[in-house]
Amino acid sequence: MIASAAVLTPLLLIPLSADDDAQDRVLQDAFADAAREYHVPRNVLMGVSYMQSRWDSHPGAPSVAGGYGPMHLVDPGRAKPPALAAGPQGGNGVPPGTVGTPAAAAAGASGGRAVQPADLERAARLIGAPAGRLRTDAVANVRGGAALLAATQRQLGKPLSDNPADWWEAVKRFPGTADVTSAATYANDVFSLIHKGAHRTTAEGQKISLPASPGVHPRAVHVRDARRSKNVECPAELTCDWLAAAYQEIDDDGDYGNHDLGDRPKDQKIDSIVIHDTEASLQSMFQTVQDPTEASWHYSIRSSDGHVTQHIRTKDEAWHSGNQFINARSIGIEHEGFLRQPGTWFTETMYRTSARLVRFLAKKYGIPLDRQHIYGHDNVPAPTTDSIPDMHDDPGPFWDWRHYFDLLGAPLRATAGPDSDMVMILPDYATHSPLFTGCTRSARTCPKHGSSAVRLYTRPDERAPLIQDPGRHPDGEKSTVDVNDLGSRVSAGQTFAVAGRSGDWTAIWYQGQKAWFKNPKAHPTAVGASGRMVTPKEGLDEVPVFGRALPEAEAYPEDVEEQPESPLPYRLLAGQRYVTQDTVGGSYVAKSTFVTTPNPVVQGEEEYYEIQIGHRLGYVRANDVDVLSTPAAAGPPAAQQDRPAGH
């Protein structure tokens, strides 16, 4: 299975005092104690907890689904979207007023509705503790989870056995998903983890170890939902619904929405997948995607159980990214969540389902599993200069790209030595928590939280001004640490050309500027990378950077209006280098009328390189640049060898 949690990360050997060692083992001991108290195999309890939360406690902070603690015990009364801060929308701009309304609730997909998940109130009654304690106390939360597993085992008429295999049905029921396929997939993930073992340091600094149990195996379960719509394109191990997006005329003037017919990949290659978050409840998003005056996307994934709903066939073009060139060659996936609410966390179940779906689509369409092909809405380039302020910022700095690529089976890691001419941004998500503001109110400090983002400065000094984005702030405004301000940051998995080094600092070329970030050897935020870079051809002082790759003038047929070029306000100057993972051909699809067959794709002969120009991608003409290569190391550096998924 593509997202099984095969995690075998070596423990760090750090001298600890006796008190420190005891504190470090609080959660480890809690699993052992709760397993004994409720007669649940310890590896079953720990395996379930890992699949629920990766053993993170998030003390007092609920997931989007209203789940708490390392067992993700759900309080249905707390599963409400948090208030949205004023400012730019991060998802698809759904008005906050639509969230949770009766009309929105009525707009759900056909089926896939979750049954009662691991219930926090019931768990509290079983262990005789106040419900509030299970929200904030990880030890009580683990006891509650163990009590629920034992109660389920008894309800099934099964013994409280020491044999993990006897608990498969109880494990399958723990997350509360209604469909048998997803439940069986969940149980198999748990038993795969038990088989292989796991070691991890949690976000709270707890070092947890689950020894491998080679005698425990997942079951060979092959379930396929006979009710699955013929329109659905999903891997067999996921249950997916179909809820059609609107394709209809809006008025007598020929205006229409909310997507375009296509014949991809025959008429246009699909080369990327865009990760979004909803910034609204999923029910309201279902209402939105059925409205022809709104945006659209291909898939939605629910937070509580990872349930997938497809809205548009992948052969057709959704209006999801704000850039028609990207729309024409990508698939858009919405995830129920909130970029400005780090205290309301993305669930592990949603991460895993999403990774399964993306792996399936990437294999189907030959999409490389790297950060220039699997990227966020916040990495999509503006098509024109004047559209830069309108581009979106989701899934934001709290999406765990490192973990996500582990689940994709394409872990982000060093491919060259520390002195390479290229670096991959790769902070340790759990311990890397830069300052952000604006999550709930402008300028108010956000809750401290792990992050994929690394901040950029004009000098190797944290007191120096932040790098300025001339497109984001055209009037000379200063970059800020606001959670929606992308002007001075980079993200895990992105690769850049090194522009300099000074002590614990590394500089990269970024939007035509030398941008510095802190990268200490003891706690690096970037690792050596290999690959290709582009630089202006000799004799060119500067080459234009574009937000879309358009065909040359002579490629347009007479009945299709030529699109004007609009270089972005970012400079690629002589001597500077930017990383590229791919070339693309110039293309354009005219969108102006409601049709019953796809409009033809205008294909040009001129090639472009897609480059990591800043936080967002960009394009440069192949004829304007030379390509340089940075060789890979003979083998991964020792610290990166055999780095397993899920660290």
Q: Is residue 6 part of a domain?
A: no
Average pLDDT over every residue of 611-621: 98
**Residue that finishes a domain, picked among 380, 410, 440:** 410
Nearest to 602 by CA among 547, 558, 543: 558
Nearest to 487 by CA among 397, 426, 400, 399: 397
Q: Is residue 134 part of a domain?
A: yes
Average pLDDT over every residue of 471-483: 89
Q: What pLDDT score does 291 carry?
A: 97
Average pLDDT over every residue of 212-223: 86
Per-residue model confidence as pLDDT tens digits over 27-84: 999 999 999 999 999 999 999 999 999 999 999 999 989 999 999 999 977 654 443 3
By CB atoms closer than 10 A (0-12, 13-18, 19+), residue 160 is middle
Average pLDDT over every residue of 91-96: 34
Euclidean distance between the first and the last CA atom of the chain, given in angstroms as a whole number:
18
Q: Give dist(CA 635, CA 15) in Å, integer.
A: 30
Cα torsion 161, 162, 166, 171 to 10°: value is 100
* pLDDT range class, residue 226, cuts 50, 70, 90: low
Which CATH number goes with the domain that contains 65? 1.10.530.10
pLDDT at 339 over 50: yes
Q: What pLDDT score does 116 carry?
A: 60
Round the CA-based radius of gyration of the chain to a whole number and report it: 25
Q: Give dist(CA 198, CA 180) in Å, integer.
A: 26
Q: Is residue 427 part of a domain?
A: no
Q: Give dist(CA 213, CA 36) in Å, integer.
A: 18
57-71, 522-536, 565-579, 626-640: which has the minimum mean pLDDT?
626-640
Q: Give dist(CA 241, CA 231) in Å, integer.
A: 9
- Evaluate whether 512 touches 496 at the Cβ level (below 8 Å): no
Q: What pLDDT score does 400 carry?
A: 97
Co-location of 231 and 203 in the same domain: no
Range of the domain at 551: 536-630
Q: What pLDDT score does 76 carry?
A: 75
Co-location of 38 and 132 in the same domain: yes
Q: What pLDDT score does 475 carry?
A: 80
DSSP state of 206: -
- Evaluate whether 566 touches 385 at the Cβ level (below 8 Å): yes
Q: What pLDDT score does 14 carry?
A: 35
Average pLDDT over every residue of 329-351: 93
Q: What is the mean pLDDT of the chain?
A: 88
Percent of the chain having pLDDT more than 70? 87
Q: What pLDDT score does 633 carry?
A: 67
Q: Give dist(CA 42, CA 149) in Å, integer.
A: 11
Question: What single-letter amino acid sits at 329?
Answer: R
| Overall domain count for the chain | 3
Co-location of 292 and 374 in the same domain: yes
Which CATH number goes with the domain that contains 284? 3.40.80.10
Q: Is residue 644 part of a domain?
A: no
Pairing of strands 272-277, 374-376: parallel
Q: What pLDDT score does 101 carry?
A: 30
Q: What pLDDT score does 441 carry?
A: 87
Query: What's the pTM value of the predicted model, to 2 decimals?
Result: 0.90
Q: Give dist(CA 478, CA 154) in Å, integer.
A: 61
Residue 533 vs residues 4, 505, 630: alpha-carbon distances, Å: 34, 21, 8
3-state secondary structure of 502: strand
Q: Is residue 280 part of a domain?
A: yes
Q: What pLDDT score does 1 carry?
A: 33
Token pair of 556 as six digits: 């347009």
Per-residue model confidence as pLDDT tens digits over 503-544: 999 999 999 999 999 999 999 999 999 999 999 999 999 999
Per-residue model confidence as pLDDT tens digits over 378-422: 999 999 999 999 999 999 999 999 999 999 999 999 999 999 999
pLDDT at 458 over 70: yes
Residue 169 vs residues 153, 190, 362: alpha-carbon distances, Å: 8, 12, 32
Cα torsion 338, 342, 348, 354 to 10°: value is 40
pLDDT at 328 over 90: yes
**Residue that finishes a domain, picked among 374, 395, 410:** 410
Average pLDDT over every residue of 296-323: 96
Q: Is residue 457 part of a domain?
A: no
Q: Is residue 432 part of a domain?
A: no
Co-location of 277 and 328 in the same domain: yes
Co-location of 51 and 26 in the same domain: yes
Q: What pLDDT score does 253 carry?
A: 83
Co-location of 190 and 279 in the same domain: no
Q: What pLDDT score does 348 carry?
A: 93
Q: What pLDDT score does 596 carry?
A: 80
Per-residue model confidence as pLDDT tens digits over 154-210: 999 999 999 999 999 999 999 988 778 889 999 999 999 999 999 999 989 999 999
pLDDT at 7 over 50: no
Q: Give dist(CA 377, CA 392) in Å, integer.
A: 6
Co-location of 193 and 130 in the same domain: yes
Q: Give dist(CA 633, CA 629) in Å, integer.
A: 13
Co-location of 362 and 254 in the same domain: yes
Q: What pLDDT score does 485 carry?
A: 95
Q: What pLDDT score does 97 carry?
A: 28
Q: Is residue 435 part of a domain?
A: no
Per-residue model confidence as pLDDT tens digits over 284-295: 999 999 999 999
Token pair of 342 as six digits: 């780090």
- Evaluate whether 135 touches 60 at the Cβ level (below 8 Å): yes
- Evaluate whether 132 touches 61 at the Cβ level (below 8 Å): no
Co-location of 324 and 190 in the same domain: no
Percent of the chain having pLDDT more than 90? 76
Co-location of 371 and 283 in the same domain: yes
- Evaluate whether 312 touches 246 at the Cβ level (below 8 Å): no
* pLDDT range class, residue 224, cuts 50, 70, 90: low
Co-location of 203 and 231 in the same domain: no
Co-location of 287 and 350 in the same domain: yes
Q: What pLDDT score does 594 carry?
A: 83
Average pLDDT over every residue of 353-361: 98
